[in-house]
Amino acid sequence: MDVELAPVSFPQSIQLKAPSSPHAPSRITASIATFNDFMKNAQLYLNTISKIEPTVDGNDYVWAIQLQGKQITVTGTRQQDDSIAWEVSLLDIGDQSEEQDPWVALQGTTTDNAGSSQEWLIFQENSTAIFVRMSITKSSDGLVSAAIEDVSLQLKQTVLNNVDDSGEYREFAGQVKMYEALWASDGSGHYTAWTEAGEFSDEGGWE
């Protein structure tokens, strides 16, 4: 017999903070802004269907809506560990001249117990190839850590936001650390850069 689990709930929106100093390197601020944009796009699908009544089949909750020439189907499934598995599929209904199949645009897992964590896979359009892999976690005391990876380029960025507004930012090409920045709660900080061979390249600071 299937065990009936708690209803699906939508995850809270989590955004990263860049250093508060206006002199912080654009390499950091632009990367954090890009990460937040990806998270907003992932949340956009959920926000779009959040006020629609789902179809419930056991522990599967399914929302469907037509928007801007697309059929959007969102499935949320409560797991035994109380996490929620998400899948977003899209079908272009603007052109009825040929039959098309829906494709999976987004998959993810979210948890909202004693904090919040989200893991998302964004797929290339009409493909099963992963474009971006990202994760973000907010602890019960407010510590936020995140990672985003461009799978095809093997580029990864990580961010840590402490509760006092200090933080850390790192970039990796494969397993090689290319860039690291640490900043204090007042927004001032220091960065170090390396080449793809792992050799020292540059360092500096900002107030």
Tell me: the pLDDT tens digits for 107-166? 999 998 767 999 999 999 999 999 999 999 999 899 999 999 999 999 999 999 999 999
DSSP 156-169: EEEEEE-TTS-EEE
Decide: helix, strand or coil at residue 72: strand
The pTM (predicted TM-score) of the whole model is: 0.90
Which residue, among 101, 95, 54, has the nearest Cα to 78 in the 3D structure?
54
Amino acid identity at 45: Y
Tell me: the pLDDT tens digits for 164-179? 999 999 999 999 999 9
pLDDT over 90, % of the chain:
75
The torsion angles phi and psi of 32, rounded to 5 degrees, stand at -70, -40
- Chain-centroid distance of CA 44 in Å reads 12
- HSE of 22 in the Cβ direction (CA atoms, 13 Å)? 0
Burial 66-79 (b: 16+ CB within 10 A, else e): eeeebebbbbbbbe
Cβ neighbours around 105 below 10 Å, total: 22
> Which tokens is 148 given?
């985003």
> Which tokens is 199 given?
């050799």
DSSP 8-class letter at 68: T
CB 107 within 8 A of CB 83: no
Q: Which pLDDT score, from 0 to 100, does residue 132 have?
A: 96
CB 3 within 8 A of CB 79: no
> Which tokens is 175 given?
């397993």
Tell me: the pLDDT tens digits for 81-97? 889 999 999 998 866 65
Domain boundaries, the chain: 26-152
